[in-house]
Chains A and B, each alone.
Chain A
Amino acid sequence: MKRRMTILLAAALLLAAAASLAAILRPAPETDRPVARITLDGELIREIDLSRITAPETFVVTAADGGSNTIAVEPGRIRVSAADCPDQICVSQGFISDGTVPIVCLPHKLMISISGGGSDLDGAAG
Chain B
Amino acid sequence: MRRRLLSLALCAGLLLGLLSGCSCGLVDADTQVFAMDTVMQLQVSASGKAAAQGALDGAVAQLNDLDKTLSVSGTDSDVQRLNAAEGTWVTLSETGADLLKQALELCALTDGALDITAYPAMEAWGFPTGTYRVPDETELAALAANIDYTRVELDEENGRARLPEGMGLDLGAVGKGYAGDRLAENLRAHGVSYALLNLGQSTIMAIGSKADGTPWRIGVQDPAGEDYLGVLELTNQAVGTSAGNQRYFEQDGVRYWHILDPATAAPARSGLASVTVVADSGLLCDGLSTALFVMGADRALEFWHDHPELNIQLVLVADDGSVSITPGLRDRFTIRDPERGVTVLQ
B-binding residues in A (CB < 8 A): 3, 6, 9-10, 13-14, 16-17, 20-21, 23-24, 39, 41-42, 77, 85-89, 92-102, 104, 106, 109, 111, 119-126
Could you write out 30 A-B pairs with CB less than 8 Å apart? Answer: A6-B6, A13-B9, A16-B16, A16-B17, A17-B13, A20-B19, A41-B34, A42-B32, A86-B129, A87-B129, A96-B226, A97-B226, A100-B221, A100-B222, A104-B201, A106-B37, A106-B38, A120-B217, A123-B204, A123-B216, A123-B217, A123-B219, A124-B198, A124-B218, A124-B220, A124-B221, A125-B202, A125-B218, A126-B219, A126-B222
- Whether A20 and B243, one on each chain, are in contact in the complex, defined by CB atoms closer than 8 angstroms, is no
Is B12 a contact of A17 with CB atoms below 8 Å? yes
Listed from nearest, the 7 A-B pairs whose CB atoms lie closest are A126-B221, A87-B130, A20-B16, A86-B130, A100-B228, A125-B241, A100-B219
Nearest B-chain residue to A120, judged by Cβ: B217
Contact between A98 and B227 (Cβ–Cβ < 8 Å)? yes
From B131, B196, B203, B220, residue with most partner A Cβ within 10 Å: B220
Complex interface: chain A residues within 8 A of B20 (CB): 20, 23-24
Any A CB within 8 A of the CB of B39: yes
Cβ of B249 under 8 Å from chain A: yes
Residue of A nearest to B2 (CB): A6
Q: CB-CB < 8 A to A122: which residues of B?
A: 196, 210, 216-218
Interface magnitude class on chain B = 35 or more
Q: A17-B13, A88-B249 are in contact. List 19 more A-B contacts (CB 8 A).
A: A9-B6, A13-B6, A13-B10, A24-B16, A24-B19, A92-B249, A97-B227, A99-B228, A100-B219, A100-B221, A101-B221, A104-B39, A104-B201, A106-B38, A120-B217, A121-B218, A122-B217, A123-B196, A124-B198
Pick the contact of B9: A17, A98, A125 (CB < 8 A): A17
Interfacial chain B residues near A39, Cβ < 8 Å: 32
Q: Considering the chains assembled together, what is the distance between the CA atoms of A92 and B38 in angstroms?
A: 16
In the complex where A96-B226, A98-B227 touch, is A125 in contact with B37 (Cβ < 8 A)?
A: no
Which B35-74 residues have C-beta < 8 A from chain A?
A: 37-39, 41
B227 & A100 in contact (Cβ 8 Å cutoff): yes
For residue B248, which residue of chain A has the nearest CB? A92
Instruction: Determine if B198 and A123 form an interchain contact, defined as CB atoms under 8 angstroms apart.
Output: yes
Q: Is the CB of A121 within 8 A of B16?
A: no
Q: Which A residue sits closest to B9, measured CB to CB?
A: A13
CB of A29, distance to nearest CB on chain B (Å): 14
- Measured in the bound complex, the distance between the Cα atoms of B225 and A97 in whole Å is 10
- CB contacts (< 8 Å) of A86 on chain B: these are 129-131
> A125 touches which one: B39, B131, B219, B250 (CB < 8 A)?
B219
User: Which of A10, A16, A92, A124 interacts with B219 by CB under 8 Å?
Assistant: A124
CA distance A64 to B3 in the complex (A): 69
- Whether the Cβ atoms of B37 and A126 lie closer than 8 Å is no
In this complex, the member of B12, B240, B249, B274 whose beta carbon has the largest number of chain A beta carbons within 10 angstroms is B12
